[in-house]
Amino acid sequence: MNSFSEQVARRLRESKVELSKQWLEQLAEIVPTGDSLPTERLLDRLPTLLEEIAGCISSPSDPAGEVSSKVLEEAAELGRLRHRQKASVRQILREFDLLARILEEFAVGEQQLANATPAGAAVEVVCRIDRAMRVLTQATVDTFISEYAATIDRQRQHLEDFNRMLSHELRGPMNTLRIVAALLAERDPVSADERKTLIDLIQGSVERSCALLQDLEALAGFRGHDDSPAGREVALDGALRAVADRLAGLAAANDVEIVVDDAAPSVTVDIRTLELALTNLIGNAIKYCDRGKDRRWVRVTASIGDDSQLRLAISDNGTGIAREDLPKVFERFFRGKRTRAIEGTGLGLAIVREAVQSLGGSVDVTSEIGEGTRFTIALPLTG
């Protein structure tokens, strides 16, 4: 133990907030455009981490060179956070390299201030910093990778279930086509009516297959990007307007008014993913409107909740969803009993849920038959 290490540890505790800011600033300079930058939330954690590193510097290292379990916990938490933020191992390593450099410079600066310090003591402190940083990096990356592996595992399971459901769904229209083809191969239609029936069956089957393919494409769209920073970040109000504009034709054709809250909080959102979710939700609200009502509307509102999450509500005065259907609407291929007559794949809300979850958020629904339906999306702010 030397008093210089005590001094550096004390000074480090005093300067932890300042050093954290310095780290974030320097990081912002070296992060290539397109990479996600650690957000304010990471900045919240960093002072705690520096506090722990200070502990490593002042405490005499035990024979095994162990670092306190609190440091490891903090590192694991960081690993989980960076995984949620969709960082890469490369980014984490770069962030820690930079932190190590800042801390070493800090220690050297302290030595220069306390000019009576023997060089050996300063070297010892730098070694301790180095050791703490190495353990920390290892623990963070380990957690990151195990989170990552779990995600991949979940996705594989997911994909298998999905493929099974998909082949099941495609079998219907394909069987119809096969039967119609066999019938036509045997003999010509006997009447104009029969001919029309067969053509309708062919058209229906083809349309259904195309709708499935289209939804499939949407699901693949954001799944394939899970390991990289998500889509482009744009201002929320612009994103809401873009979705409403795109659905204006469909809304007009069904005599449904789309009302977008014009007091959207000024935050940025991942346009690609959010658009996918909103398009499906507003599309449903239009599709399942209540034709018995004179004024039909779907309303989109946005606010920041008490929990500092972004809340988007999509409410309509449509037919509503039966209570027993509510828990199942987000399941893939689920279609409400009362709405079977209306074309659909049952994938829309599964797409919504996946899209929202890929942003670290959640989606909920409440509904009352005859009154209408409200979907609420809660999203963490990306800052």
Interacting residues toward Mg ion by CB under 5 A: 284, 348
Q: Does 79 bind ligand ADP (CB under 6 A)?
A: no
**120: nearest Cα among 5, 284, 241, 245:** 5
Which of 284, 317, 358, 382 contacts ligand ADP by CB under 6 A? 284
Reduce the DSSP state of residue 57 to 3 states and report it: helix
Angle subtended at Cα 266 by Cα 265 and Cα 269, rounded to the nearest 5 degrees: 100
Q: Does 169 bind ligand ADP (CB under 6 A)?
A: no
Strand 256-260 relative to strand 296-304: parallel, antiparallel, unpaired?
A: parallel
DSSP state of 381: -
Q: Are 273 and 355 in contact (CB under 8 A)?
A: yes
CB of 297 to ligand ADP, least distance (A): 12
Rounded-to-integer distance, Cα 98 and Cα 79, Å: 16
Which of 285, 300, 312, 363 contacts ligand ADP by CB under 6 A? 285
Rounded-to-integer distance, Cα 331 and Cα 350, Å: 6
Mask of contacts with ligand ADP, 336-365, x by CB under 6 A? Answer: x--x----xxxxxxx---------------
CB of 319 to ligand ADP, least distance (A): 5
Residue with smaller CB distance to Mg ion, 79 or 348: 348
Residue with smaller CB distance to ligand ADP, 139 or 350: 350
Which of 96, 106, 288, 297 contacts ligand ADP by CB under 6 A? 288
Which of 20, 137, 319, 358 contacts ligand ADP by CB under 6 A? 319
Name the one range near ligand ADP by CB under 6 A: 7-15, 141-149, 167-175, 330-338: 330-338
**144: nearest Cα among 67, 70, 89, 71:** 89
Which partner, Mg ion, ligand ADP, none, binds residue 361 by CB below 5 to 8 Å per kind? none
In this structure, what are the phi and psi dihedrals at residue 352, rounded to the nearest 5 degrees?
-60, -50
Strand 268-270 relative to strand 296-304: parallel, antiparallel, unpaired?
A: unpaired
Residue with smaller CB distance to ligand ADP, 49 or 377: 377
Residue with smaller CB distance to ligand ADP, 147 or 261: 261
CB of 287 to ligand ADP, least distance (A): 6
Count CB neighbours of 78 within 10 A.
Answer: 27
DSSP state of 328: G
Q: Does 173 bind ligand ADP (CB under 6 A)?
A: no
Which partner, ligand ADP, Mg ion, none, binds residue 358 by CB below 5 to 8 Å per kind? none
By CB under 6 A, the residues from 38 to 67 that bind ligand ADP are none
For residue 358, CA distances in Å to 35, 45, 89, 106, 354 come to 17, 23, 19, 39, 6
CA 124 distance to own-chain centroid? 43
CB of 128 to ligand ADP, least distance (A): 56
CB of 169 to ligand ADP, least distance (A): 11
Residue with smaller CB distance to ligand ADP, 367 or 382: 367
Q: What is the helix, strand, coil percentage profile of the chain, to 5?
A: 60, 10, 25
Angle subtended at Cα 290 by Cα 287 and Cα 293, rounded to the nearest 5 degrees: 140
> Which residues form the interface with ligand ADP (CB under 6 A)?
280, 284-285, 288, 316, 318-321, 329, 334-336, 339, 344-350, 373
